Every structure is written in C-alpha cells, then in structure tokens.
Structure 1
Amino acid sequence: MLLIRTMWTGVLVASLATAAARAEGSSPAPPPESTQAPAEELTPMPPPPRTGWGVQGLPLINYNSDEGLGYGARLLVVDSGDGSIQPYRYAFMAQFFQTTVGVAIHRLSLDAPRFLDSPWRVVLDVALINDRFSPYYGPPGDTRYVPSLNTCDDRDALKSDPNVCPGNPDFRGARYYAFDQRTFPSVMLNVRRSLNGPWQVAAGYRFRLTELRTRYAVDDLGQARDSLLEEDVRAGRISGLTVDHLDGVSIFRTAEVTASLLLDLRDNEPAPVRGMFHELAVRGAAGVTGSAFNYFGVTANLRFFHPLGTDRLVAALRLFADVMGGDVPFPQLTSFGGVEWRETMSGIGGVSTARGMLKNRLRGQVKALANGELRWKFLSVAPGNQHLDFTLLAFMDMGQAWADLGSLDARAPRYTGGGGLRIAWEDNFIVRLDYGVSPQEGTTGFYLDFNHVF
C-alpha cells in the first residue's frame, strides 16, 4: 500500500508474456501411474521471508482520456530487516511521472508499517504536483460544457492566432475551460494503528503551497479573452477566488490537521469478495496549523462487498460524502478527506470518481458520490505457476456538488455507466481497463490504470 495508485503496466505486461512463454515451452510429462498407496501429501514449505535491503526500479505507464499517456519511473529501496515485519520494515520511494497533457507527479516517500517497532504505521510523502491545463466548468448548479467553445480542428491556425478558429464562429479559445495549477510542496504525514479487531484510528497533517494562473502565454495557445473561470470570478459566481487573484500568479497556503476512525472487515484489501470498509474523517485548517485559510471538512466513506451466490460474482458499492465549511480556498473545492485519498484523485469526474464524465466536472464545498460495480471473475489460469484472474465488470457512477451547505437541495445527480476488465496477478497487482459514458453530457472516457477504483 505504498502511497499513490500503482502504475506498473510495462512490468506486468512483460511478466505475463514471460510466464506464458515459459508455460508453453515447459510442459512436463505426466507422472507414471503407481500401484502403491499414495504417501501422505506433503505441504510445500513457504519461501523464507526476505531480509536485509533490496532495490527495485519500475517503469510507470498509464493512460486516460483526460490526462493522456503517462510515463515515468519509480525507484524503491526496501529494508526488510530480519523478515519479522511484513511486508517490510521501511520502504523509501522516489518517483518521476508526467503525462502528455501537462500533468506531472514527482514525489519522495517513506512507509514504515511498524515505525520504530511501535504499533503505528507512518507514511510521509513530499510531492510536486503540476496540472498545467486543469479543467473548470463552472460553479455548482451552473456547470456548463459546450465543446465548440474550446475545440478547433485546425490546431496549426491557432499557433499564429489563438483567438480565431477557422470554420468555428463559437470558438472562445483552446484554454477557455482551463487554468494552470502547481502545488509544491505537497506534504502529507499519516499515522495509523489498529485498536481492537477491525477498528483502526488514524491522524495526519497535510501542507500545500499552490500556485494558480488563469492566463496562458500565446505559445501555450492562450486566448486574449477571459476564460470561463475569469468570467465567473468577475461575476462573483465562484467562492474562494477574487478579482485580485486574476492578476499574475496567486499563491494559496493550506495546512490541515486530520483524524479518522476506520472499520475494515474486507477479506482481501486489493480485491475484496466480502466484507466492508468504512471511514469517518475530519480535517481542519487555521493559522495555528500554518494555513492562510480557516476551514473544516468532514468525510464519510462507506464501502460494501458481497458475493452473489458464488465468490466469482461480487456486488460492490461505495458511498462517499464530503462537507466543507468556512473560508475554503478555490483549489480545495475539489478535495476530499480520508486516509486513502490522494491529491491526484480530486474532483467528481474522471478516472477515480465518475468514469465517462470529464475530469473535475463538479466541484464545491459539498460533494456526494456513489459507485456501484458488478464484478464477474470469468477465468482463472496459472501459466508458469503465476496465478492470473480475469474479471469483467459493469459499473454505474453518480455524483453531485453544491456550493455550500446553505445551497443544499434535492438536485438530481449526474451519472455515468460503462464496463471494464480487470487482470489480477497473484491477487495483489491489478490492471484495470474501463470505458465510461455520460449520457447526460455526451462525453466518454477510456482508462488504463491500476487497482480497483474502490
């Protein structure tokens, strides 16, 4: 469970190919029949635990419709000690990762499952997170996306004049729905321990220094007219930003203290068949914590897993609600709380929340999300003693956002639906492919990533 989502496409594909080739090339002859009574079956000895230090280098590859092709590398340095602490004593990770659409996630992290031989698991993460073309589609209750306003088939024409698109009189600019956001440093410290049985408690600290720009240079196809975000700020339609923030670079410093109570009854954390995982989390930011803004947040995360007649058919449900209040800065309107949430998973819409909906389609101080999946494991094979499970699934995602608690109403949720495939290697490393459709907005999304959405 080393911090952010794992993106090991290159490693897994190569390993599967090697395992399959090994299986084809080494078919053992059947053993001769024996007339003697079979001896007592021997239980194979488990491999000895790993000890000492180890170094691993991993390529990182993923893809999704919002952020393009992602690529990079990860270096892991693992201290297994004497092998008595699983999965390791300490793990240090350095990551370089970026995508073809201007997203970058570079980080250093430490994971200590039993820090200094205590019952506390400590995770420290320091990151640079860059989103050069972060999307914005309007405030809650008035979100709007018209493809013709930022779409131009003649990209070469925009290089000479980014304000005009030949053949598209509605064009307002390639960056009409975008702004530039860069967070450095993003510091996250989490401590977590078991209480009694499945109950756990966690606490933490999050510090972010975020730079925001609403204008792009001509070389980045920045238009002369206002973007949608600038229009909404000038009209007073969005909270957390003022007209003063539209001049050059704005800096937002936030520092949150967090606490969580968790109940984990899952039978297998990476791919549960039965059980549940629930979390109630609170967070708060104030001057005393190092924040330039005073606000709070409460998060409820409920997950249920239940087999339908057989362990090969599983119904899975996630219910997620997040409420914020106070002086919430604009960059935090897409954020959620909880120990398993990461900065790269923010907003309703996209790879981690509502597949088929545009990334960060909905934002606000109040957010609600529901994800339902039906997972059917239709094939299990073991080429070269490498256990592989293939699972088909159908899903429906729903979400909605409100400006604040005062504007909460019975507004109908936005929804998406689709299907996908999971390839699980030894029950732990899971490749996921999803294709989602938003019937309300006519948008689609394809996602190649790792691990279940929940």
Structure 2
Amino acid sequence: MKTSLLRTWLTASLGLCAAVASAQQVDSLSFIRSKRMSDADLAKKREGLFVTGLPDLSSDPVTGFGVGVKTNIIWNGTRDNPLFAYTPYLTRLRANAAYFTTNAREFTLSLDVPYYKGTRWRYRVDFKAQQNPANLYFGSSEATLGRLRLPSNPDVTFATYAQYDAARKTLRPGQAGEAAEVTDALSNRFRETEFMLNLKADYALGKGRWRVMGGYEIQHLSYDTFQGTKAEATRNGEETTAPNGTSLLQRDAQQGRIFGLDGGWVSILQTALIHDTRDFEPDPTRGVYFEAANEFSSPVIGSQFRFNKLFFQGRAYRKLPVGPRTVLAGRVGVGNIFGKEAPFFEFQDQWSPDGSINALGGRQSLRGYRANRFLARSLAFANAELRIRLADVKLGKQNFGLGVAPFADAGTVRDRWQDLGLRDVRFSYGAGARIAWNLSTMLYADYGVSKEDRLFYFGIGQNF
C-alpha cells in the first residue's frame, strides 16, 4: 500500500515538474510572441527536414541570363515544438551557384540559425566567391543624376540608355594613351573578383522586438578595366571591332576622384540595432522592420582601407481585407559613407543585416534603371509593392502561392548627407509576378519602367 502511494506521489510529482518545465519553456519564448505566423500560413508550413532545390534561371539587364542551382536545406522541427509557429525555420543551409552569359559566376553558402535552441541568440555564417566582368560605372557623385554622358565626350548627353549604348559603340579618334581609333563600348564596365567570409550573431532584447547584432567580415577584392580590349564598334552604321578606349573608372582614378581601383583586403566590423515584428521573414503579411546598421573599416583591424558606413532602413507590411492574401509592403532607406578616401566599391551597396542592397538602380532599389546608375556618398530611396495572392495550389507535398505585385520606386543621391531631400528624385514603376514555394522560397519576375529604360528581371527572393 505504501509502495503504491509512493509510486502515485512520484508519478504526480514528476508530471507536475514536467508541466512546470514545459510552461517555463513556453513562457521563456514570450520574447517572440509578436512574430507568430498567421493561421493560414501556419497550416501550410511543413514539418521536419526538407530540401527545396531548383534550377536557377535568372535574368538581369547587367549580368545577363543566368543558369545555376539554388538549394535550401531547411529544418522546421515538429508542430509540438514551441518555436514552430514563430520562426521561418529552425535551421537553414543555403547553397547557390550560378553562371551568366556575361561570363559572371558566383558561389555562395549561407547558414542561418534563428533563436538557437530556444535562446535569444541568432547565428549566421556567409561565404561568397564571385567574379563579375559586367559591373557598370557611371560616376560616383551626384552628377550621375544628370543625363547619360560619354566618358570621352561629357558634353554629349542622351535621354535613353538605348541611345547612349548605341553612341558609345561609334568609332572615334584615340586620345592620349589610346589606339589610333577606339570604341567606348566597354568604357563603363569593370571586372570585380571577390572572396568574402562573414560571421554574425544577434541577441533579442526584452520581448524580442529589438535585437543587437555584431559581426565581422573579411574580403579580398580585385578590379580590372577593359582599355585596349577588342570590343564592339560601328563605323558609318556597320558593325566592326576595335580596341576599347580608356574606361571612365580609370579616368576617375587617375584624376583622384575615386580610390580603391587596385583592390586589396577589406576588414570590417559590423554592428546594428534592429526592431523586427514581421510575422514571417521570407514573405511577411504584417509587422515592421527597422535597422540602424554600421560598418567600420580601418588599418587598426587589418584593413587596407579606412571608412565608416551608416545605413538606416525601415519596412512596413500590412494585410488588407481584400482577397485571400493582399499585403501592402513599403520600404525607406537612407545611407552615408564617411571617410575622405572611402573606396569606390563601397558606394555600390548599402550593408544590411537582412541582406545588402545594391545602390542606386537595379532590382533592389530602382527597377527602371540599370544597377549603379546613380552613385554618391549619400543616398535615399523608397519602394512600395502591393502583393496580391491570386491562388494557392498544392501539388503532392508541395505548396505554391501564385500572385502579382505592382510596384513603385523612388530615390536620389548626394555628395553630402546634409543635402538629401526631395530635389532631383528619380522614379520608376512596374509590375511583377510572385510564386511562393512552401512559403519560404519566393520566385519573382519584375518589369521596371523609367524615363530612361525598360528592364526585366526574374529570379528568387522578395525584393524586401
């Protein structure tokens, strides 16, 4: 009898302890309650380990048509895991490789572990090896807001990129240091070769809406321009070839307008303060995201360059009572680079813990303009999208959401952050198609329009 009572007491005690421990575990996750997924999205989320791998077919006006493979190895855990409804995944390993018709190639690896073992820590590791001979350069000051100009004759301007592209292929007499007769077909292009390793960790504060992040990045960069390279040319309307003239990037380096053309080692300390209430990071339906991000580079930490980059970004998402899933998404970004001799390549993007943003032009900022069309020390831009879900389709164990996304973009650049304002703002607009594959993988196709160009992009990932 005593043994039976003791067994009953032990069973009840252990059960109570387990219940208390479970309750404590759930309570310890209160810092991410605001990030709970919608019931509709939660019902579609898969359990366990799965792979989303697909051929990477992409198109960009600068890098050309690309083929490759994109894979995500995702571990979601089970539905009884307290984290299941609050995180996009428990662990994701992403491996991408791509080759483009412009001879650009890229390989990336990315490991992301949000809320590691139910704690407030998130860890990320990224590696990239890439070479791109199709980078564009139009200058690195607010003068790029003007009309397109030939490097060899800046007094001649063009209203559209098509006119400019045709004119720079026209043969002209060579100047000092050039062949007798040259073309400018490649004078706005340069080749970049990069190897990069980045380590980041962030910690959730309070109820989890605020996070602080620290990271370290090491890069090796090298650059080539194409003066003297045989390139396309036209003589009296007929196609031919000729040596390329002096590149605009080389001219600016020789005149002391830019620094860093010789490349080298870049060592960077990264810090950020983040406010994030998005319900599902890959494709949010509600919430806001704000960050103040900073990159510091100096010979003190082993860098060959000295600069400091500060970037502020805000995003907002609101689900509208129209259709099964209609989301109004908006973003505003403002950045500045400090340092008298900051290298030109740092003007090309703004670093964000949520993914760097190419500036200013291209798919990530102004979709109606070519990448890097507007560059200067300071920039500001805004994007708006109406993401409309038209249908949800299930094929076997795969879930697909089909939608469209009309959008509008705006942005400008300045030589001093104090001069940022609404003067000389450039606009683009357009529409896109979206396919959500198992929620976490987004496929896009966007067509952007500006007064200068008409551009088409497709690939993987939401713009923001």
Structure 1 position 142 matched with structure 2 position 153: no
Partner of 1:239: 258
* Secondary structure of 1:142 counterpart: helix
Looking at structure 1, the residues matched to 78 and 188 of structure 2 have their Cα atoms a distance apart, in angstroms, of 54
Query: In the TM superposition, what is the alpha-carbon distance from 1:273 to its structure 2 partner?
Result: 2.2
**Contact 2:140-2:377 at 8 Å conserved across structures:** no
Query: In the TM superposition, what is the alpha-carbon distance from 1:214 to its structure 2 partner?
Result: 2.2
Distance 1:209 1:220, change over 3 A: farther
Distance 1:96 1:426, change over 3 A: closer
Structure 1 position 66 matched with structure 2 position 49: no
Query: In the TM superposition, what is the alpha-carbon distance from 1:91 to its structure 2 partner?
Result: 5.3
Q: 1:340 is matched with which residue: 349, 354, 360?
A: 354
**Contact 2:110-2:126 at 8 Å conserved across structures:** yes
* Secondary structure of 1:151 counterpart: helix
Q: How many residues align?
A: 385
Query: In the TM superposition, what is the alpha-carbon distance from 1:47 to its structure 2 partner?
Result: 10
Query: In the TM superposition, what is the alpha-carbon distance from 1:176 to its structure 2 partner?
Result: 1.8
Structure 1 position 367 matched with structure 2 position 363: no
Distance 1:47 1:277, change over 3 A: closer
Distance 1:410 1:417, change over 3 A: closer
RMSD over aligned CA atoms reads 3.5
Looking at structure 1, the residues matched to 94 and 286 of structure 2 have their Cα atoms a distance apart, in angstroms, of 32
**Contact 1:324-1:404 at 8 Å conserved across structures:** no
* Secondary structure of 2:55 counterpart: strand
* Secondary structure of 2:347 counterpart: helix
Query: In the TM superposition, what is the alpha-carbon distance from 1:420 to its structure 2 partner?
Result: 1.2
Partner of 1:323: 336
* Secondary structure of 2:345 counterpart: helix
Looking at structure 1, the residues matched to 110 and 48 of structure 2 have their Cα atoms a distance apart, in angstroms, of 21
Partner of 1:5: none
Distance 1:108 1:385, change over 3 A: closer
Looking at structure 1, the residues matched to 78 and 409 of structure 2 have their Cα atoms a distance apart, in angstroms, of 45
**Contact 1:109-1:125 at 8 Å conserved across structures:** yes
- Amino acid in structure 1 at the alignment position of 2:197: V
Partner of 1:353: 365
Q: 2:210 is matched with which residue: 165, 190, 199?
A: 199
Looking at structure 1, the residues matched to 189 and 421 of structure 2 have their Cα atoms a distance apart, in angstroms, of 28
Partner of 2:26: none
Q: Give identity over the alignment, percent.
A: 26
Look at both structures and tell me which one has the larger radius of gyration over its CA atoms. 2
Looking at structure 1, the residues matched to 46 and 430 of structure 2 have their Cα atoms a distance apart, in angstroms, of 43
Looking at structure 2, the residues matched to 371 and 282 of structure 1 have their Cα atoms a distance apart, in angstroms, of 22
Structure 1 position 402 matched with structure 2 position 394: no
Structure 1 position 444 matched with structure 2 position 438: no
Query: In the TM superposition, what is the alpha-carbon distance from 1:309 to its structure 2 partner?
Result: 3.5
Q: 1:227 is matched with which residue: 247, 263, 266?
A: 247
Distance 1:305 1:80, change over 3 A: closer
Query: In the TM superposition, what is the alpha-carbon distance from 1:64 to its structure 2 partner?
Result: 2.2
Looking at structure 2, the residues matched to 314 and 74 of structure 1 have their Cα atoms a distance apart, in angstroms, of 26
Q: Deviations over 1:69-96 (max 9, x none)?
A: 1112356667889996877766555442
**Contact 2:62-2:134 at 8 Å conserved across structures:** no
Query: In the TM superposition, what is the alpha-carbon distance from 1:114 to its structure 2 partner?
Result: 5.5
- Amino acid in structure 2 at the alignment position of 1:325: F
* Secondary structure of 2:251 counterpart: helix
- Amino acid in structure 1 at the alignment position of 2:359: G
Partner of 2:48: 50
**Contact 1:113-1:120 at 8 Å conserved across structures:** yes
* Secondary structure of 1:332 counterpart: helix
Query: In the TM superposition, what is the alpha-carbon distance from 1:380 to its structure 2 partner?
Result: 3.4
- Amino acid in structure 2 at the alignment position of 1:213: D
Distance 1:451 1:93, change over 3 A: closer
Distance 1:178 1:266, change over 3 A: same
Partner of 1:266: 278
- Amino acid in structure 1 at the alignment position of 2:252: D
Looking at structure 1, the residues matched to 101 and 412 of structure 2 have their Cα atoms a distance apart, in angstroms, of 29
Distance 1:449 1:74, change over 3 A: closer
Partner of 1:276: 288
Farther off after superposition, 118-127 or 253-262: 118-127
Looking at structure 2, the residues matched to 77 and 387 of structure 1 have their Cα atoms a distance apart, in angstroms, of 16
Query: Which runs of no fewer than 5 residues in structure 2 stay unpaired?
Result: 1-42, 149-157, 175-180, 233-241
Query: In the TM superposition, what is the alpha-carbon distance from 1:153 to its structure 2 partner?
Result: 12
Looking at structure 2, the residues matched to 409 and 278 of structure 1 have their Cα atoms a distance apart, in angstroms, of 21
Distance 1:417 1:208, change over 3 A: same
Looking at structure 2, the residues matched to 100 and 181 of structure 1 have their Cα atoms a distance apart, in angstroms, of 16
Distance 1:224 1:47, change over 3 A: closer
Partner of 1:214: 225
**Contact 1:148-1:171 at 8 Å conserved across structures:** no
Query: Which runs of no fewer than 5 residues in structure 1 stay unpaired?
Result: 1-44, 164-169
* Greater per-residue strand proportion: 2
Structure 1 position 390 matched with structure 2 position 402: yes
TM-score in terms of structure 1 length: 0.74
Query: In the TM superposition, what is the alpha-carbon distance from 1:299 to its structure 2 partner?
Result: 1.1
Partner of 2:266: 254
- Amino acid in structure 1 at the alignment position of 2:404: L
- Amino acid in structure 2 at the alignment position of 1:73: V
Distance 1:73 1:378, change over 3 A: closer
Partner of 1:22: none
Distance 1:402 1:111, change over 3 A: same
Distance 1:323 1:213, change over 3 A: same
Looking at structure 2, the residues matched to 425 and 75 of structure 1 have their Cα atoms a distance apart, in angstroms, of 12
TM-score in terms of structure 2 length: 0.73
**Contact 1:149-1:171 at 8 Å conserved across structures:** no
Distance 1:358 1:120, change over 3 A: same
Distance 1:407 1:213, change over 3 A: farther
